[in-house]
Structure 1
Amino acid sequence: MGNKTIYLSLALIFLISFTSIANAGKETRVVASRLTLDLSIYGNIVTWAETTTDTAWMYNLTTGNITRLGHAGNSPVIQGDKITWWDYDKNIIVYNISTGKEIKIVGANTPSIYGDNVVYVRSKYEDGQPASHQNDESNSLYLYNLSTNEETQLTPYEHARFYPSIYGNKIVWGRANQVNSGEWSSNISIYDIPTKRVSDISRTGTAAGGEIYGNIVVWVEQKNESRDIYMRDIAKHETRQVTFDNNSTSADIYGDRIVWEREYWIGNNFSSDIYMYNISTNETTRITNSTCAGDPAIYNDKIIYVDTRDDPESQEYRDIYLYNLSA
């Protein structure tokens, strides 16, 4: 009993030392929306999907203009002046904000973009393979260059490659493997475009998600009902556990900062808030206190997230909020 008391005291000291509450910055509701998900931000442009209208949207933080991007828009991602998403027919759309022009990539899904490179997933059957593969769920990573209009297959077909993310010449994605009937494991893998080398970042068999910025990859490590955020410095070959609360998910990274959603219970009420981790200082900061915030994305000093504080019971109204760290 005495040892437990000591351990609890040390844990409390650790939290007091390394976790703080945001005391600077400004929170603003920027868009009133319903059933919002898949937020992305770059510069002053915010994108998201709305399931009530099956549409991808774009919002300009400077002008306040809202633009409907396309019907059946899933998981829009913005980088530079380009936005990409995929529809229910599994076609990828790449929209150029500057020119207003669109490019369609047929038969693919879950895109990510960096510069002129779009990375995405194609399944074996949808890629024009024989009908015998109709029930084969194997898929492969592909790369499309917007300048040359060339498509390149990056990996062999394998079961369950999902949600790639690209930065510079490196691509990360989740890879599920069937251990035996009804049992699966999942890893985080990385592909180096110049060398065509594939390597595993996480081999625990419980990894999900995966985002990359520079040399840092972040993901969610899930063990039974517990979920924590991990990061890997691929240049230094170092892995670090970011959270220790067993209830963290939806991680994103930009520069030296990682943001995520932490879930918890207040009595019988399910709650969630946004947290931020500074890689250099090893400091964790709580960004929101609404108990209704989730799905964050970050760009420089701007953190966006959805919040259901105006509709906590049904959580249908998922308004988009902005927290500006430098305001």
Structure 2
Amino acid sequence: MRKEVLLTVSVLVCLIGSISVAQAGEEKKIVPDQRLVVSTAIYGNLVTWYETSTNVPHIYDLSIGKELNVPDDRVESNMEIYGNRVVWQNGDDGVSLYDTSTKKLVHITEAYHPDIYGNNIVYERIKWLQDEPYTLHSLYIYNITTKKETKITGEINADYKTAISGNKVVWVRADNPSIIYIYDIPSKKVSTTSASDSVSNLDIYGNLVVWQSGSDEKSDIYMRDISIHKTIQITKSGSAIEPAIYGNRVVYINANDIYVYDKFTRKTTRITSCGCAYAPYVYNNKVVYADSHEAGEMNWELGSIYLYDLSERVPKFKHQDTN
């Protein structure tokens, strides 16, 4: 599950690969005029997002075509969804869990940066100290059904960036961001893999791990299949950021447009062309994102939430472009 970042404006720097440009008119506006959208997410018929202008959690049900009434709570970061359950870091520096089927909101524990898959929530705890190193960080898994919490890392003086899928938890540590840690829940064993540069925006689906590697000035998207210990570089533009993965598809941003890479076909599709899109997320054939093209420019202050259905895509043409 993907973690959000502040979008940086990037430029195209090289021409490589075959890109299918999607035909216009295939995107659907879900909700107009959202201010300062930080992240989107989708699972099944539910789309989630929040805005830093209000920090209010939003959940939109595609099956009924409207937003759901969500109990009053504040989202500080990491609004993530699996099935009917949505988690986020709330305004009290704790983890909130909302079940759309039971309409119950629960504040689970004081913790940070949650992610969810099935019955498991992974999050970061911080121990505040009076003396140096001031704070100690550690990772935990919380089982929703049993309400049991399991500590999976030791305490270090550095932040974690985490994601969970199936029986795997992946993370990087701020003190050594070029090493990716992989935790197997049943065996409780940890393995590692090295990246070529600093890792951010880590995400996982099954045995596939994706990440953004590089700096603010130059970054690309990578994918590793941990079952066969093979890493591939998805982009070579030096301007690709914010990847998210579901199934065989990886979405990411390049020059403020949304691209989709298909692992099976090894083809990349650009689904926006305005240079005004941000905060992408993918589930099966559906991609959600924020877009401000109606303003005629990149505008964080005012954008709308869009849904793009890849199953209805008919490529307009193919050309050489950056990926």
Normalised-by-shorter TM-score class = 0.7 to 0.9
User: What per-residue deviation string (whole Å, max 9, x for no partner) do you get for residues 142-181 of structure 1?
Assistant: 0111111111111001232423111111001221116xxx
Question: Which residue number corresponds to residue 229 of structure 1?
Answer: 221
Structure 1 residues 122, 240: CA separation in 2 closer, same or farther (over 3 Å shift)?
A: same
Question: Which residue number corresponds to residue 8 of structure 1?
Answer: none
1:46/1:61 contact within 8 Å kept: yes
Q: Does 1:215 align with 2:207?
A: yes
Q: 1:319 aligns with which of 287, 304, 322?
A: 304
The one-letter code matched in structure 1 to 2:200 is: A
2:49/2:79 contact within 8 Å kept: yes
- Deviation of 1:284 (Å): 1.0
Counterparts in 2 of 1:83-162, with a 5 A limit? Answer: 83-125=86-128, 131-132=129-130, 136-162=134-160
Q: Does 1:75 align with 2:78?
A: yes
Structure-2-length-normalised TM-score: 0.86
Question: Which residue number corresponds to residue 301 of structure 1?
Answer: 285
- Deviation of 1:206 (Å): 1.0
Distance in 1, Cα, partners of 2:46 & 2:139: 27
Question: Which residue number corresponds to residue 244 of structure 1?
Answer: 236
- Deviation of 1:25 (Å): 7.7
The one-letter code matched in structure 2 to 1:172 is: V
Structure 1 residues 25, 237: CA separation in 2 closer, same or farther (over 3 Å shift)?
A: farther
Question: Which residue number corresponds to residue 19 of structure 2?
Answer: 19
Counterparts in 2 of 1:159-174, with a 5 A limit? Answer: 159-174=157-172
Distance in 2, Cα, partners of 1:314 & 1:243: 25
2:119/2:143 contact within 8 Å kept: yes
Distance in 2, Cα, partners of 1:160 & 1:105: 23
Structure 1 residues 224, 81: CA separation in 2 closer, same or farther (over 3 Å shift)?
A: closer
2:161/2:173 contact within 8 Å kept: no
2:275/2:298 contact within 8 Å kept: no
Larger gyration radius, structure 1 or structure 2 = 1
Structure 1 residues 52, 134: CA separation in 2 closer, same or farther (over 3 Å shift)?
A: farther
The one-letter code matched in structure 2 to 1:137 is: T
The number of residues matched between the two structures is 295
Counterparts in 2 of 1:251-290, with a 5 A limit? Answer: 251-263=243-255, 272-290=256-274
Distance in 2, Cα, partners of 1:190 & 1:161: 16
Structure 1 residues 203, 256: CA separation in 2 closer, same or farther (over 3 Å shift)?
A: closer
Q: Does 1:43 align with 2:28?
A: no
Q: 1:193 aligns with which of 172, 185, 199?
A: 185
Q: Higher relative contact order by CA 8 Å / sep ≥ 6: 1 or 2? A: 2
Structure-1-length-normalised TM-score: 0.85
2:78/2:115 contact within 8 Å kept: no
1:138/1:160 contact within 8 Å kept: yes
Distance in 2, Cα, partners of 1:217 & 1:210: 7
Q: Does 1:64 align with 2:65?
A: yes
- Deviation of 1:68 (Å): 4.9
1:141/1:161 contact within 8 Å kept: no
- Deviation of 1:79 (Å): 0.4
2:133/2:157 contact within 8 Å kept: no
Distance in 1, Cα, partners of 2:135 & 2:212: 24
Counterpart secondary structure, 2:175 = strand
User: What per-residue deviation string (whole Å, max 9, x for no partner) do you get for residues 251-290 of structure 1?
Assistant: 0111111010112xxxxxxxx1000111011111111112
Distance in 1, Cα, partners of 2:49 & 2:280: 11
Structure 1 residues 248, 68: CA separation in 2 closer, same or farther (over 3 Å shift)?
A: farther
User: What per-residue deviation string (whole Å, max 9, x for no partner) do you get for residues 54-87 of structure 1?
Assistant: 2111011121221353432132111011000011
Segment of structure 1 superposing worse, 21-30 or 272-281: 21-30
Structure 1 vs Structure 2 CA RMSD: 1.9
Distance in 1, Cα, partners of 2:123 & 2:223: 23
